[in-house]
Structures are given as C-alpha cells and as structure tokens.
Amino acid sequence: MSTRPSYYVTTPIYYVNDVPHIGHAYTTLACDVLARFKRLDGYDVMFLTGTDEHGQKVEKSAAGAGVDPQSFCDRVSARFQALATAMNFSNDQFIRTTEDRHKRAVQHLWQRIADAGYIYESAYSGWYSVSDEAFYSEKELTDRADGTKVAPSGSTVEWVEEPSFFFKLSAFQDRLLELYETQPDFVMPSSRLNEVKSFVRGGLEDLSVSRTTFTWGVPVPGADGHIMYVWIDALTNYLTATGYPDEGSKDYRTFWPADVHMVGKDILRFHAVYWPAFLMAAGLPLPRRVFAHGWWTNEGEKISKSKGNVIDPFALIDDFGLDPVRYFLLREVPFGNDGDFSRAAFVNRCNADLANDLGNLAQRTLSMIHKNCNGALPAPGDLTDADRELLDGVDGLLDIVRPHMDRQAFHKALGAIWDQVGAANTYISEQAPWTLKKTDAERMSTVLYVVAETIRQFAILAQPVTPDAAAALLDLLDIDAGARGFDALGAGGRLAAGRPIVKPSGVFPRLELETDGEKNA
C-alpha cells in the first residue's frame, strides 16, 4: 500500500435515460476539483464516476427508442464519457452497472445483508414513481386537479402490487440518528443534515428492494423472477470500484470507506439514509461524508425540457472555453446553495476575475520582464515591507485554502486566492514598475520578481479549477513539471533568477456577451 494518505471521492452514477446537462457537469466538476487538489497536496486519490444503467425506466426508454436495453445504455453512457473528456475531468475510473464485476459485487452485498437477517420476503403494495425509481408513502404525495398523485419531485406515481423482498430499514432508525448526532459532518451542508434527521425521526418503514414486473436489472440471488431495486444496485458501485467483494484487494484497503459522496440534493435520502443502513446491515465501514449540492436555474427560471431551457455543457464550452466554465460554476454560488445561471453574470465574472485580475496581472508583469530584463527572471534586491507583506500573504494561502476545500467550500477557497490576486494588483499599481524603469531599475526588477513569484503560486493553486490556463501560466514561467505540486508553494519554491521566459501570450481572453438575435444557451 502507498505510504501517502488516501482520498476517495465519488459522483453519483448518472442515470442513462437522458443526455448530460449542466447538473451532471456541476457535480462531476466538484469531484474533479477535489481530486486534483488532493493529488497536488500529496494524496493517493481515487476519483470515480459512471453510469447507472438498470431499472424499469431504462427498460421503458429503450423500448421507446426501438433498441434493446444494453444497446441503449451503450449509446447514452458514451455521451457521459464524452462529457468527462470535454470537461477535462481526471476520473480514475468510469464505472457502468452493466459490468460483470458490478453484478458480482451487488449480489455479494445482497447475500451478506440477507445472511445477517435484514432481508425478508413479502409483497409490496404502494405508490411508486418510475421516473424517480422511488417508493413514496401516502403522506408524501399531493393530488393534482385531475386526481393524479404526484411525488415531491413533481413526477407522477402509480400504484404497484407485486411480490417483493424487503430490507429492514426500520431496524436502523436509532443507529442512523446516532450517526447524525455523533458525526454531524456526515451530511453536509448542515441544512441538508437537518432535512435528513427530520425524515428519519418521522419513522422509517421497511424498504421494498426487489421487483418482479420487469427484467432489466441484477437478479436477486436464489430468487427466480426477482430483480434488485435499482438503488441497492446503483449505490453498490462505490464498493465495486474498490474491488469489493475482495476486501483484501489493494484498492479496497486503500480507499474504502469513501471520503466524499457528492450528490445532488434530490438523491440525498438514498445516500444519507438507505446507503448507510445497507452498509450497517452488511457490517461494512460507512463513508465519511455525503455532500448534497444545490440546483441551477437558468436566467431565473427552473430548468426543464418542456421549457426548452436546459443548459448544455458542451455548448457552453464551445461558446466560452472550458476553464471559464469550470471557474464560473464553482466561484459564482456558495457550494451547497441553489444558483442562477445567466450569461451576463458568466461573462462579467470571468472577465473580472480571470481576464482582468489574474490574466492582465500576468500579461503586463511578464511582458515587462521579457522586454526590460533581457527576457529572463530578474534577481530581486533588498525586500521592503510591502514586498514581504505580499509574499507572506501568498505563501500562507494553502493554509487558508485547504480547510475550505476539505469542507467543499469551493467559493471560499477561490475567494481566498483571488483576494491575494487583488492584493498583487494593488501592489503593482502602487509600486509602478513602469515608472521605476526610468528612475530605479534595480527596484523595478525586485517589484517584477515579487509579482512573478505571486503568479507562480496563483497558478499552482488554480490548477484544480482551471488546469489548462494554470498550466499555460506555469509554462510561461518555465516551471518544471515536478515543481507544480503544493510542496513547491511558499518560500522553498521561489523562482530562480536568470531563468529565461518566453514572450507571454494571453491566457484568459476577454469574453463577449452575445447581442440580441444571437443564440442563447
């Protein structure tokens, strides 16, 4: 096993009944940033994403498309894999629940729970949403004017009666409440934890965990005609990727339990109630955290296919470039809250923070060095209090950023970095090296060196969020590939005077807002 600390982060696996949208990109981006950050911080990382390919909804969608379920899954899963490539995600695995290794893991987990006495056979009668792949009690439903019953998600439900196996979820109410009390960071943010606690305190009913009215799924061991409930199938993917049921495998011993399951708030119950209960029943360690983020609206309106306002991440990348998309999604809105996407806000944020604050700082500083210092990094002279203050602020950034990242407060982490970018811009304006070149060339060299050193550290810290642009900045400074980790931050990694630099080119181009008549997202 590696001597480095380990970190395991997962996205939910995405259901293959639709094409990828901004919500999928947002969740996976958050995980990608965590994974990149931890790798740079010296961790042995596993970052998992993938697709959830079983269930009644998939079977129906495949039939509607006139293809068999596996062909349907192959086609849609490929689109999610294309999104991972387009967004420059650094996932270590892309899992599919139709893989044989996953079917083995799910059946093993089922048998382990059954052997422990927590699964029994009976019959289910109640309300079920095919769209949500979820069961609902009468008290959770509302009635439309036409008498149709609707789940909290807005999806319609149907009355289902069939033989079923049940999981004794009711047996875990007290243990779950104890978990939430003793480990309050198990569910984040805290507002979501309160929702989960309220749901569990309201009483847990045993959960139907098999179906007999369709066939596209993992068969229940030893029970002909029964297909596992899609959520017990889907959730087990987090174990499958570590090599489970081989608990002696290197990946299992290194990475389980997971550090963060990142999910949208709509599937929090499955991850924060059902999943830990399944693991408790199986006698397996629990993940350390489930983080439920919010939803995006589009120009103030709820996103829906019927409104035609779904935000296509591929189109966003085509319009604005990848790194601005990555930056905006994690900088604009406090992570965990709902947020509104607008093209004006996007352009304004990226132009202010990326093009103006960091991009312009780098461009004018490195251009001055290239033109006035013989194309090489200058040697600094004696440092003033202003020099030391700026360098001390940048040297200490990791200690500020790391706790924010560990709590998935991406907006705060980026805010801390850009506060120092602002300080560097204030410093260069006050020191005015363009004036000093006429009056004090040695002082000009010191000022330019100090700012170049801040750019080096900004670029290293920005790598998890804007990997391409950060790499371009580090290339301009001729930073070796082995000197781009967080261990190179601070005084120990200072720029070497005399190192040649190429003539700089812009890293963050200014974005333009489309005028009336041009296409909208």
The candidate with the shortest Cα–Cα distance to 192, out of 133, 102, 262, 279, is 262
Q: Which residues contact 482 (CB under 8 A, 6 or more apart)?
A: none
Strand ranges across the sheet with 301-302: 301-302, 296-298, 339-341
The residue behind tokens 């978990």 is 179
What pLDDT does residue 521 have? 41
Q: Which residues of the chain have pLDDT under 70?
A: 1-2, 515-521
pLDDT, tens only, 198-255: 999 999 999 999 999 899 999 999 999 999 999 999 999 999 999 999 999 999 999 9
Residue 61 to residue 64: CA distance in whole angstroms = 5
- Is residue 243 within 8 A of residue 249, CB to CB? The reply is yes
Residue 470 to residue 206: CA distance in whole angstroms = 51
What pLDDT does residue 448 have? 98
Which residues share a beta bridge with 291?
A: 188, 262
Residue 94 to residue 82: CA distance in whole angstroms = 11
What pLDDT does residue 405 have? 98
**DSSP-derived 3-state class of residue 267:** helix
What pLDDT does residue 520 have? 43
Q: At the top level of CATH, which class does the domain 343-493 belong to?
A: mainly alpha
**DSSP-derived 3-state class of residue 432:** coil
Amino acid in the structure at residue 243:
G
What pLDDT does residue 136 have? 85
Number of neighbours of residue 432 by Cβ within 10 angstroms? 12
Question: Furthest-apart CA pair in the chain: how many Å?
Answer: 89
Say if residue 383 is exposed, middle or buried (CB neighbours under 10 Å; 0-12, 13-18, 19+): middle
Residue 445 to residue 455: CA distance in whole angstroms = 15
**DSSP-derived 3-state class of residue 351:** helix
What pLDDT does residue 223 have? 95
What pLDDT does residue 285 have? 98
Number of neighbours of residue 168 by Cβ within 10 angstroms? 17
Strands 93-96 and 6-10: unpaired
| Exposed e or buried b per residue across 233-245, where buried means at least 16 C-beta atoms within 10 angstroms of its C-beta | bbbbbbbbbbbbb
Tokens of 78: 């490929």
pLDDT, tens only, 218-234: 999 999 999 999 999 99
What pLDDT does residue 518 have? 45
**Per-chain mean pLDDT for the chain:** 94
| Exposed e or buried b per residue across 91-125, where buried means at least 16 C-beta atoms within 10 angstroms of its C-beta | beebbbbbeeebbebbbbbbbbbbeeebbeeeebe
CATH 3.40.50.620 fits 6-294, yes or no: yes
pLDDT, tens only, 340-394: 999 999 999 999 999 999 999 999 999 999 999 999 999 999 999 999 999 999 9
Residue 30 to residue 80: CA distance in whole angstroms = 16
Tokens of 264: 């949208």
- Determine what percent of the chain falls in helix, strand and coil, rounding each to the nearest 5: 50, 15, 35
Give 510's DSSP letter. Answer: P
Where along the chain do its domains lie? 6-294, 343-493
